[in-house]
Amino acid sequence: MRQDATFNILMYSHDTYGLGHLRRTMAVASHLQGPAVNILILTGSPIAGQFVFPPQIDFVRIPGMIKMTNNEYLPLSIKINPTHALNIRKNIITATAKTFKPHLFIVDKEPLGLKKEVLPTLRWLRRNLPETRTILGLRDIMDDAQTVRNDWKEKGVYDVLDQLYSEIWVYGIQDFYDPIVEYDIPEAVRPKIYFTGYIPRKLPGKVAMHKIRKKIGVKKDQKLVVVTAGGGGDGYVIMDTFLSMLETRPLPFKSVLISGPFMPKKERDGIFERARQLNVKTWQFYSEMEEILAAADLVVSMGGYNTLCEVLTQKTLALIIPRENPRQEQLIRARVFSSRKLAEYISWPTFSPEILRDKILALLEHPEPYQDAISGFQLTAMDRIQKRLYSFCSKA
pLDDT per position as a tens digit, 303-332 = 999 999 999 999 999 999 999 988 999 999
- In degrees and rounded to multiples of 5, residue 43 shows phi and psi of -145, 145
SS3 345: strand
In this structure, the answer to whether residues 185 and 227 fall within a common structural domain is no
Q: Is residue 58 part of a domain?
A: yes
Tell me whether residue 2 is in a domain. Answer: no
Asked if residue 244 belongs to a domain, the reply is yes
Q: Is 188 a member of any domain? A: yes
DSSP one-letter string for 121-151: HHHHHHHH-TTSEEEEEEES--S-HHHHHHH
**What's the pLDDT band for 78 if we cut at 50, 70, 90?**
confident
* Tens-place pLDDT, residues 194-205: 999 999 988 888
Q: Are residues 300 and 385 in the same domain?
A: no
Per-residue buried b or exposed e for 152-180, using 16+ beta carbons within 10 Å of the residue's own CB: beeeebbebbeebbbbbbbbbbeebbbbb
Please indicate, yes or no, whether residues 275 and 177 belong to a single structural domain of this protein. Answer: no
**Are residue 292 and residue 171 in the same domain, yes or no?**
no
Alpha carbon distance 141, 162 (integer Å) = 20
**Residue 173 sits in the same domain as residue 319:** no
pLDDT tens profile 102-160 = 999 999 999 999 999 999 999 999 999 999 999 999 999 999 999 999 999 999 999 99
Distance of CA 31 to the CA centre of its chain: 15
Q: How confident is the model at residue 64 (pLDDT cuts 50, 70, 90)?
A: confident
- Give phi and psi for 334, each to the nearest 5: -60, -40
pLDDT exceeds 70 at position 51: no
What are phi and psi for residue 330, nearest 5 degrees?
A: -65, -35
- 393: pLDDT strictly greater than 80: no
Residue 1 covered by a domain: no
Expressed as residue numbers, the domain containing 285 is 206-375
Q: Are 63 and 170 part of one and the same domain?
A: yes
> Residues 139, 182: one domain?
yes
Shared-domain flag, residues 140 and 273: no
Do 267 and 193 reside in the same domain of the chain?
A: no
> What is the value of pTM for the model shown?
0.92
Rounded Cα distance, 102 and 96, in Å: 9
SS3 of 212, please?
A: helix
Is residue 312 situated within a structural domain? yes
Note whether residue 20 is domain-resident.
yes
pLDDT, greater one: 273 or 221: 273
- How many independent structural domains does the chain possess? 2
User: Is the same domain home to 361 and 383?
Assistant: no
My answer on whether 62 and 124 are in the same domain is yes
Output 153 or 23, whichever has higher pLDDT. Answer: 153
CATH number of the domain at 318, please.
Answer: 3.40.50.2000
Angle between helices 381-395 and 20-32 (to 10 degrees): 60
Same-domain check for residues 212 and 147: no
